[in-house]
């Protein structure tokens, strides 16, 4: 059963000065009232108004992409966003990274008993706002409740579908030796912003999360120079994990130039303080693009004209290497490997 | 980032005699090894093998449906199924209840630190088996890890997309006075099966969950007599919640006949023992169908020939009632209201 979409006539409603109770997950009147008072009101759209356990829409023949992400970020609210906006941006971005136009989202909420309804409303409102701003509606959803101590406030799983424009063929296995590696802006902002809010780390960096929906930027990149090889958003695991994934898929190595990778001074300072490497820190509004070297200049121009790409930079190149290793020329002129992350300095970053 | 789909060359792998650790959620090597050892191996299909953060597929022009469900059932394993098979069946059924043919699923897992990997493997294998048996592949997914005490073993959110055949128009607002109300089999099996496993309720009922994918049954029903008005699976909140939802959407009342509603003797006995009403108990392999009375006989014949519909029954009719009330002629010849459930006798049933 899906309970975002229930229409009903009761004049009641859920008082928002309370907290989530187990009864809100019953599937009965309390569930439908919560859904109406919170979800239906904020997400209101014609698809939800169909009032069924699934949303229906007409679609033309197309190459379709589908992606899903569970969001468990802690804390739920952080500088520059919250779990709701993050969930919308994260899933839109995974659709966009196929060069696709995101069409629709679903959102499933797992609520912990005792979570304040006012905080839930902030999250639902933020989810709805992010979805509206991006032009990608949440058309179906679900709410479940677990006992206190069996969850952590709110978890949100979003799923997105979108359409790949004709002629676009972007995949992580298409990086070729000689290709240019571009990044759309500074790395590490999201991770450091979340970290700065964690209860036992009270330093203030002034850094806000870069959480943003990148489909507009991608649409301009694809329209200007369709022949993109790879696109990926360096979230959990950071730039290092993303480049290693693409290297493995493509069976090619990469050579990066550390001084070319944009990092904000505050992010760098926080990382030095905490012994972290910004290359391993999550981003939520950045992308890595890999394309023919000949296209790189034009593509960078397009990216830099977009508000979400004005710090775009060429950070390295794809090289022939059967081991698919990633090496980096350091600021000090040496060279080091950029391996997968072995530990996890930042659990629950998204 | 979506991490079901990562291909990689490492010869390592996750030893399955351990437990889920925070590092499995890092997005680094431990995550990709877990994904490869467990998820990729069991779900293996051409879509996951694309190795990207989203799965791509070609689709013809169609009316498409999309639905999502978070699954938090407790206990994770119960007679007749587990959270994995339940998640697949539940989402396939929500697609099928639009009369649609389910095409693809996504699955996002939220894992609790310390959860035994062997149990996780049982769940992943069961999820994959249910998906394979139903012919609806899990084409993309995600895994996240939360600290011990911040989750409850495993939560799974599944999302499904499917295609509505031409000429089919099924919606909860299409029930009309005079329509027949059919149910595909006995009610209450799933709820009682889960209840029988709850740690503090040790009675043995011999009842197993009815958890099953209903799209095959629906396809035959739609092919035989396309003019179905409403279809819905009476899950959380049971038959009572589902009929009240449809009544509200349609602005019509219903009159049920208690003696016509199929209930297994063991379910009835357990309900009497525990002071529960089988009409409010969740089902996971049953559907309610509402159609013209003239079609009811033929439709019942079709349902009864299908293994998942052999106990199908006509249980009542839609009546004109601006209050959208549901009344029931009891076994003792009286009449009572079948209202929404006010309390929640069975939290976390799905």
Share of chain B above pLDDT 70, in %: 94
A282-321: pLDDT as tens digits:
999 999 999 999 999 999 999 999 999 999 999 999 999 9
Decide: residue A17, CB within 10 A, 0-12 exposed, 13-18 middle, 19+ buried: exposed
Region of poorest pLDDT, from A175-179, A196-200, B249-253: A196-200
Q: Is the pLDDT of residue B26 over 90?
A: no
**pLDDT band at A266; cut points 50, 70, 90:** very high
Provide the number of CB pairs (under 8 Å) joining chain A to chain B: 322
Residues A177-203, mean pLDDT to the nearest whole number: 88
Residues A123-142, mean pLDDT to the nearest whole number: 97
- pTM of this prediction? 0.94
Cβ A341–B26 below 8 Å, yes or no?
Answer: yes
Residue B40 gets which letter from DSSP? I
Decide: residue B329, CB within 10 A, 0-12 exposed, 13-18 middle, 19+ buried: middle
**pLDDT band at B208; cut points 50, 70, 90:** very high
Q: Is the pLDDT of residue B29 over 90?
A: no
Cβ A347–B139 below 8 Å, yes or no?
Answer: no
**pLDDT band at B344; cut points 50, 70, 90:** confident
Region of poorest pLDDT, from A94-103, A263-272, B10-19, B304-313: B10-19
Choose the mutation target among A3, A53, A57 for the interface with B, i.e. most B CBs under 10 Å: A53
The pLDDT of residue B127 is 98
List chain B residues with CB under 8 Å of A1: 69, 90, 94, 233, 235-237, 241-242, 350
Top pLDDT among A190 and A37 is at A190
The pLDDT of residue A196 is 87
Cβ A68–B95 below 8 Å, yes or no?
Answer: no
List chain B residues with CB under 8 Å of A62: 58-59
The pLDDT of residue B201 is 64
Q: Is the pLDDT of residue A344 over 80?
A: no
Cβ A347–B161 below 8 Å, yes or no?
Answer: no
List chain A residues with CB under 8 Å of B51: 171-173, 249
User: Å from A91 to nearest chain B CA?
Assistant: 8
A196-210: pLDDT as tens digits:
888 566 666 689 999
User: Å from B282 to nearest chain A CA?
Assistant: 10
Nearest residue in B to A240, CA atom:
B28
**pLDDT band at B202; cut points 50, 70, 90:** low
List chain A residues with CB under 8 Å of B104: 66
The pLDDT of residue A202 is 60
List chain B residues with CB under 8 Å of A147: 347-348
The pLDDT of residue B7 is 34
Q: Is the pLDDT of residue B269 over 60?
A: yes
B168-183: pLDDT as tens digits:
999 999 999 999 999 9
List chain B residues with CB under 8 Å of A191: none
User: Å from B159 to nearest chain A CA?
Assistant: 7
Top pLDDT among B59 and B205 is at B59
Cβ A53–B324 below 8 Å, yes or no?
Answer: no
**pLDDT band at A11; cut points 50, 70, 90:** very low
**pLDDT band at A341; cut points 50, 70, 90:** confident
Q: Is the pLDDT of residue A342 over 80?
A: no
C-alpha A111/C-alpha B2 separation (Å) is: 22
List chain A residues with CB under 8 Å of B23: 343-344
Which of B139, B146, B173 is closest, CB to CB, to A348? Answer: B146
User: Å from A172 to nearest chain B CA?
Assistant: 6
Average pLDDT, chain A: 92
ipTM tops the 0.90 cut: yes
Region of poorest pLDDT, from A223-237, B18-32, B51-65: B18-32
Cβ B241–A28 below 8 Å, yes or no?
Answer: yes
A71-118: pLDDT as tens digits:
999 999 999 999 999 999 999 999 999 999 999 999 999 999 999 999
How is chain B split among helix, strand and coil, in percent rounded to 5? 35, 25, 45
The pLDDT of residue A7 is 34
C-alpha A219/C-alpha A101 separation (Å) is: 7
Top pLDDT among A308 and A32 is at A308
Greatest mean pLDDT range, A48-57, A76-85, B194-203, B223-232 = A76-85
**pLDDT band at B280; cut points 50, 70, 90:** very high
Share of chain A above pLDDT 90, in %: 80
Nearest residue in A to B155, CA atom:
A110
The pLDDT of residue B6 is 40
Spell out the residues 6+ positions from residue A41 whose beta carbon is closer than 8 angstroms to its own.
none
Top pLDDT among B100 and A31 is at B100
Lookup result for tokens 């906006």 = A85
Q: Is the pLDDT of residue B199 over 70?
A: no
Q: Is the pLDDT of residue A8 over 70?
A: no
Which of B32, B56, B59 is closest, CB to CB, to A98? Answer: B56
Q: Is the pLDDT of residue A17 over 90?
A: no
Which phi and psi angles does A234 have, rounded to 5°? Answer: -80, 80
The pLDDT of residue A340 is 83
Q: Is the pLDDT of residue A192 over 60?
A: yes
Strand A335-337 vs strand A101-112: parallel, antiparallel, or unpaired? unpaired
Q: What is the 3-state secondary structure (H, E, C) of chain A?
A: CCCCCCCCCCCCCCCCCCECCHHHHCCCHHHHHHHHHHHHHHHCCCCHHHCCCCEEEEECCEEEEEEEEEECCCCCEECCEEHHHHHHHHHHHHHHCCCCEEEEEEEEEEEECCCEHHHHHHHHHHHHHHHHHHCCCEEEEEEEEECCCCCCCEEEEEEEEEEECCCCCCCCCCCCCCCEEEECCCCCHHHHHHHHHCCCCCCCCCCCCCCCCCHHHHHHHHHHCCCEEEEECCCCCHHHHHHHHHHHHHCCEEEEEHHHCCCCHHHHHHHHHHCCCHHHCCCCCCCEEEECHHHHHHHHHHHHHCCCCCCCEEEEEEECCCCCCEEEECCCCCEEECCCCCCCCCCCCC
């Amino acid at each position: 059963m899906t309970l975002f979409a229930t229409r009903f006539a009761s004049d009641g409603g859920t008082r928002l000065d309370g907290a989530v109770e187990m009864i809100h997950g019953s599937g009965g009147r309390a569930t439908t009232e919560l859904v109406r008072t919170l979800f239906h009101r904020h997400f209101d759209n014609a698809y939800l108004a169909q009032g069924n356990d699934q949303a229906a829409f007409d679609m033309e023949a197309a190459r379709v992409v589908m992606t899903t992400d569970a969001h468990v970020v802690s804390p739920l609210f952080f500088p520059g966003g919250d779990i709701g906006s993050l969930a919308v941006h994260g899933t839109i971005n995974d659709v966009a990274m196929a060069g696709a136009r995101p069409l629709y989202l679903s959102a499933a909420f797992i609520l912990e008993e005792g979570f304040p309804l006012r905080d839930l409303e902030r999250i639902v409102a933020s989810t709805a706002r992010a979805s509206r701003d991006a032009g990608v509606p949440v058309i179906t959803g679900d709410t479940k409740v677990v006992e206190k101590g069996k969850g952590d406030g709110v978890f949100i799983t979003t799923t997105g579908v979108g359409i790949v424009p004709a002629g676009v063929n972007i995949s992580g296995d298409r990086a070729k030796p000689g290709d240019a590696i571009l990044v759309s802006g500074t790395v590490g902002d999201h991770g450091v912003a979340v970290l700065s809010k964690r209860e036992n780390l009270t330093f203030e960096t002034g850094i806000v999360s870069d959480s943003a929906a990148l489909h507009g930027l991608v649409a301009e990149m694809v329209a200007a120079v369709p022949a993109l090889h790879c696109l990926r958003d360096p979230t959990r695991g950071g730039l290092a994990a993303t480049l290693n994934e693409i290297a493995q898929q493509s069976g090619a190595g990469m050579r990066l130039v550390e001084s070319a990778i944009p990092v904000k001074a505050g992010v760098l300072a926080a990382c030095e303080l905490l012994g972290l490497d910004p290359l391993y820190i999550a981003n939520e509004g950045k992308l890595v693009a890999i394309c023919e070297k000949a296209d790189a200049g034009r593509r960078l121009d397009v990216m830099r004209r977009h508000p979400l790409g004005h710090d775009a930079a060429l950070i390295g190149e794809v090289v022939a290497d059967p081991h698919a290793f990633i090496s980096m020329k350091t600021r000090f002129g040496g060279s080091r490997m950029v391996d997968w992350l072995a530990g996890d300095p930042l659990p629950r970053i998204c």
